[in-house]
Structure 1
Amino acid sequence: MKNITIRQLKTFESVARNLSFSRAAEDLHLTQPAVSMQIKQVEDLAGVALFSHAGKRIALTDAGKLMLRHSMTILADLKAAEQSFATLKKGTSPRLRVGLITSGSYMFPHLISAFMHQATGLDLDLNVRRRDQLITLLRSDEIDLAIMVHAPDDPAIVCEPFAPNPFVLVSSPSHPLASERDIPLSRIADECLIVRENGTDTRSAVNEAFRNPSSAPRFMEIGCAEAIKHSVMADIGISFLPAQTIQSEVRAGLLKVLDVQGFPVRRHWCLVHRADRHLPPGALDFREFLLAEGKDRLAHFTGIDNVHTGMTHQHEKYAAPETLTLPTPVATTASLEVALRTRSLLRKHGLPDERDVEGHDHGRGDSGDDDQFPARRKPAHH
């Protein structure tokens, strides 16, 4: 196939992707006969049929699938070369194009900043969007990498998990469920669950966790994580949120993690990119950074699995009143921002600042055993 042209490759790729001659003609601004003629030329060069026909419907043969894989790689390499030469001509720095789901905006900017400080001559393009919007940007080649929880079920997309991301149910401290232990999931069906909008990773996790209609609560949709937190604080309902996003509020006593059977729901942060194109050098370096250091750095910045839950189990029928323990903040920019936000929330709700709380163990930091999320068991009848 040494005589095949780039135009023929592009035509074949469009027909194979759309499984339609007419839609490929629209994409390429060609007539349908012109598309059909080029496909015949490609098949003549290959010496095998690339499409099977059943009435008006077409499908890729095994040879066609092989041809598509190689075509996408060739076209992706050509586009990468074009971008590299454009950068060289302009004298500009190479760019790292990353997409991030909104719930990741609490901690991932710190990881990205850590990487950028050790990378040289690299500019950053960061898009913070909903999951469905990031997938669109990835498929249209507007970003190189995306960080999310639920990757699409698509063989053209590569998904690499690199760090845990558990989800929990939270309420206000005054909610009736806040003081209960080992709560059956069926009890949540009586509650109003405040959730993110469709298209977000958090909503996908909610839908999966409550896919059984008998245990599904009534949903109230709010398209902002901060608004959801304040609605829960105001006792409008409970919510299902990533554990990494609620630490400051839990430590301040403004939110309570509920002790529900089957929770936390274990999920992972995933690095997502296209299988049909090579990652640019900057994106490749960032991928290796996250796979090698992402888990440990998230633990450092967010204290994963070390948020105080107040779920110390008692053998007595009635538990003794809880004492709020606030871990010593880590001296980082992230913890300073958390401390400032926490103090603001404390003052707003008329609660004492952490400096006024007695019995604070300043030696434990974020590593005390009492601060761990329990991995709740599922009841025997499940």
Structure 2
Amino acid sequence: MKHVTLRQIKIFESVARNLSFSRAAEDLHLTQPAVSMQIKQMEGLAGLPLFRHNGKRISLTEGGSLVLRHCQVILADLRAAEQSLANLLSGGVQHLRIGLITSGSRLFPHLIHSFVQEHAAVDLDMKVGPRARLIEMLRSEQIDVAVMVRAPDLPQMVARPFADHPFVLVAAPTHALAGQRAIPLARMGAECLIVRESGTDTRIVADDVFLGQAAAPRHMELGTSEAIKQSVMAGLGVGLLSVHEVDAEVRSGQLQLLDVQGFPLLRQWQVVHSGDRPLPPAAREFRQFLLADGGAILASLAGH
């Protein structure tokens, strides 16, 4: 494949990532016939099919998977070169692209600020969104590292835990269960459990706990943690949220932690990145910062 072009490599990588010729065409602002033609030319250079077709669906062949790994390395090296040149031209400013799940939006900006204070030459780009969106942003290289609770079940993703992340059940202070001790988990079957939507880390935790119960509580799905807290305060049900998200409301007396058996439910914060490409220097330093100091800083922030 010594005559393959950079344009063909970019087109192939986009088709392989999206598993769609049409979505790749949208990504690259090309027509679908142009994308198909470049893939055919690349398959001719490779001497074997790179994709198998099953109706309208496509998947990578063994040869396609092999070519993809090499293309990802080539593109990663080019991006690293571009970043190095940009750093040189800008006097050493490094870009840090972080993705953060919604349940971390209260404490993590303060933790990230601690890192940025020590690295004055870092230009921060932070995205906040649900877990599934962050995973897609990692795969499409829109962010370099992500912070979430459940590590992606994808072989190319590397995840390391760095801090405890407890989840709790909360109710309005006037709720019948408020103030009771050692509430049996089965008792929650009589409650309306207010949770985040499917695919979020918080909802995954709720499903882990309650889907196997003989008498699972009725679920009410809401799109934001703030909506859940307000609904719980209004007496519409019991909320399952990260302890970090409800700390202020519990301290002010607007919400009360329920003493339910098995809670707080302990999970861990994970720092995640793609193992298919090298981390830029700023992202590498931020990851090391989380692994070394993230747990202690989060504990300090949660204690205030």
TM superposition score normalised by structure 1: 0.69
Q: Determine the structure 2 residue equivalent to 1:71.
A: 71
Structure with higher strand content = 2
| Alpha carbons 1:22, 1:32 under 8 Å: kept | no
Q: Quote the offset at 1:80 in angstroms.
A: 2.5
- Quick one: structure 1 residues 208 and 253, their matched pair in 2 at CA, closer, same or farther if it must change by over 3 Å? same
Find the counterpart in structure 1 of residue 273 from structure 2.
273
Question: C-alpha deviations, 1:226-268, integer Å up to 9, x for none?
Answer: 3432432332211111122223333444332222222222211
Please state how far the C-alpha of 1:86 moved relative to its aligned partner.
3.7
Aligned length: 299
Counterpart of 1:264 in structure 2: which amino acid? P
What is aligned with 2:293? Answer: 293
Structure 1 position 111 matched with structure 2 position 111: yes
CA distance in 2, matches of 1:72, 1:82: 15
SS in structure 2 opposite 1:165? strand
User: Which structure would you say has the larger Rg?
Assistant: 1
Tell me which residue corresponds to 1:237.
237
Structure 1 match to 2:148: 148
Structure 2 CA distance, aligned partners of 1:181 and 1:282?
Answer: 47
Instruction: Give SS of 2:178's match.
Output: helix
Identity within the alignment, %: 53
Counterpart of 1:130 in structure 2: which amino acid? P
Q: Which residue of 1 aligns with 2:211?
A: 211
1:228 aligned onto 2:228: yes
Distance 2:11 2:223 in 1: 41
* Alpha-carbon contact 1:24-1:35 (below 8 Å) kept: no
Query: How is 1:75-154 mapped onto 2 (pairs within 5 angstroms)?
Result: 75-89=75-89, 93-154=93-154
Q: Indicate the residue corresponding to 2:44 in structure 1.
A: 40
| Aligned-residue CA RMSD (Å) | 2.9
Instruction: After superposition, give the CA deviation of every residue in 1:22-74 in whole Å (9 maximum; x if it has no partner).
Output: 77677564253442122121x24xxxx46475776765454543332122111
TM-score normalised by L of structure 2 = 0.84
| Uncovered stretches (5+) of structure 2, i.e. residues with no partner | none
CA deviation after TM superposition for structure 1 residue 117, in Å = 1.2
Residues 25 and 32 in structure 1, CA contact (< 8 A), matched pair in contact too: no
2:197 aligned with 1:193, yes or no? no
User: Could you say if the C-alpha distance between residues 172 and 274 of structure 1 is closer, same or farther in structure 2, counting changes exceeding 3 Å?
Assistant: same
1:168 corresponds to which residue? Answer: 168
**Structure with the greater relative contact order (CA < 8 A, sep ≥ 6): 1 or 2?**
2
Paired letter, 2:41: M
**Unpaired runs of 5+ in structure 1?**
304-334, 336-382
C-alpha spacing 1:40/1:22, structure 2 compared with 1 (3 Å): farther
1:1-22 Cα shifts (integer Å, max 9, x gaps): 6554434433443454455677
